[in-house]
Structure 1
Amino acid sequence: MPKIEAGSVREHRAQRLERLIDAAEAIVAEEGVDALTAGAVAKRAGIARNSIYRYFDSVDDLLQLVVTREFPAWIAAVDRAVAAERTPRDRAVAYVRANLEQAARGTHGWRASLSRGSLSASARQQVRELHTSLHACLERVIAELAPPHPVLTVAVIQAVVDTCIRRIDEGDEPAEVFEFAARATERLLAPDADRGPDPG
């Protein structure tokens, strides 16, 4: 039986896979996706090249793991932020802010660029499904508010999130973006937001 580096074979495999993903992330972040080869990953991770395919089937599969790695923690952080608030409006603002806080951690930009250009069709589908899971949180919050146009309200708030994430990725000051997005969401959901101009 091969020597393992953890308390169990399962833990050993999990640690090895994390090491491989760490190595792949570092290569992509420092050198670009074209530098991501099985040999480069194996060398960086300190694992024999003929062993790495025990953990994934291809470099494309490894790239998919890199791109989707942060989604579970991102979704969990947004869910926690939303659940901590007491009113639907505050929960909607928390959804916006929590997404921007996750984006501001610094790795979203290059992961998103990989999603747009370097993933297989099946990997892109997985990314879409993860985004759908995230958006479901906002849909539940807006359903509580029951605005006249719930689908449009969700779409506009999500557009605010997506636009502000792009601004953070492009280097805008996160605190300023957070504040702008929060104010925009609050105005959209204000109790009198659907009233027309005062006729008097």
Structure 2
Amino acid sequence: MPKIEAGSVREHRAQRLAQLIDAAEAILGEGGVEALTAGAVAERAGIARNSIYRYFDSIEDLLELVVTREFPAWIDAVEQAIAAAATPGERAAAYVSANLEQAARGTHAWRASLSRGSLSPSARERVKHLHTSLHEALDRVVRELGHPQPELAVAVVQAMVDACIRRIDQGDDLTTVSEFAAAATRRLLADSHS
């Protein structure tokens, strides 16, 4: 049995997987998808090439892990922002602002471009499912508001979030974009009760 470098086998596996994902990210940043090979990842992570397959089945699986790495923290941040808001309208604005804050952390554009161009169809489907779980939080808030057309409202708010994320990815100021999007969300959802 290999020597573990953590308090438990589970912690060791988590650390190794993180090392492998870090190595893959570095390789992708330097040389793109073409440079991402099992040998390059193993060398960068400092482990035997055949050992990497204890953590994932293929380079395509590793690429998916790179793309989806930030999703759990992103979803958690959005859920926490929603929970901290006092009213349904503020929860909708918090959903928007939290998503934009997560996008502005610096790696969204890069991960999104990998997702669009380099993932297998099954991996793209799993990424789509992660996005859907995020959109469900907005759906709950819009339904809590009693919006007469909740599916349409969710689609419009999400389209605005997506457009604002693209603006942030292109270099627009987070505060400016976030304030605009949150205010637009409040107006959109408030107008539904007029």
- TM bracket (short chain): over 0.9
In structure 2, the partner of 1:187 is: 187
Counterpart residue identity of residue 139, structure 1: D
In structure 1, the partner of 2:168 is: 168
Q: Shift of residue 10 of structure 1?
A: 1.9
SS in 1 for 2:57: coil
Counterpart residue identity of residue 152, structure 2: L
Deviates more, 1:181-190 or 1:135-144: 181-190
- Rounded Cα–Cα distance in structure 2 between residues aligned with 1:138 and 1:89: 11
Counterpart residue identity of residue 184, structure 1: A
TM-score, normalisation: structure 1: 0.93
- Rounded Cα–Cα distance in structure 2 between residues aligned with 1:80 and 1:137: 11
In structure 1, the partner of 2:120 is: 120
- Rounded Cα–Cα distance in structure 1 between residues aligned with 2:158 and 2:4: 45
Contact preservation (8 Å) 2:147, 2:192: no
Q: Shift of residue 194 of structure 1?
A: 5.7
TM-score, normalisation: structure 2: 0.96
Contact preservation (8 Å) 2:39, 2:49: yes
- Rounded Cα–Cα distance in structure 2 between residues aligned with 1:16 and 1:148: 49
Deviates more, 1:2-11 or 1:86-95: 2-11
Task: Summarize the Cα distance change of 1:193–1:148 in structure 2 as closer, same or farther, 3 Å threshold.
Answer: closer
Q: Specify every segment of 5 or more residues in structure 1 that has no aligned partner in the other structure, as ranges.
A: 196-200
Per-residue Cα deviation, 1:101-139 (whole angstroms, up to 9, x for no partner): 000000000100111110011101110110110000000
Q: Specify every segment of 5 or more residues in structure 2 that has no aligned partner in the other structure, as ranges.
A: none
Counterpart residue identity of residue 182, structure 2: A
Structure whose CA Rg is larger:
1
Q: Shift of residue 31 of structure 1?
A: 2.1
Per-residue Cα deviation, 1:23-81 (whole angstroms, up to 9, x for no partner): 11111123211111111111111111121111111100000100011101100000000
SS in 2 for 1:106: coil
Contact preservation (8 Å) 2:67, 2:112: yes
Q: Shift of residue 83 of structure 1?
A: 0.4
In structure 2, the partner of 1:75 is: 75
In structure 2, the partner of 1:198 is: none
- Rounded Cα–Cα distance in structure 2 between residues aligned with 1:150 and 1:55: 41
1:149 matched to 2:149? The reply is yes
Q: Shift of residue 2 of structure 1?
A: 2.0
In structure 1, the partner of 2:17 is: 17
1:133 matched to 2:133? The reply is yes
Find runs of 4+ consecutive structure 1 residues off by over 4 angstroms.
192-195
In structure 2, the partner of 1:58 is: 58
In structure 2, the partner of 1:105 is: 105
- Rounded Cα–Cα distance in structure 2 between residues aligned with 1:20 and 1:64: 12
Q: Shift of residue 86 of structure 1?
A: 1.1
Counterpart residue identity of residue 142, structure 1: V
Between the two proteins, the alignment pairs up a number of residues equal to 194
In structure 1, the partner of 2:91 is: 91
Contact preservation (8 Å) 2:148, 2:192: no
- Rounded Cα–Cα distance in structure 2 between residues aligned with 1:186 and 1:127: 28
Q: Shift of residue 193 of structure 1?
A: 4.9
- Give the RMSD, CA atoms, in angstroms: 1.2
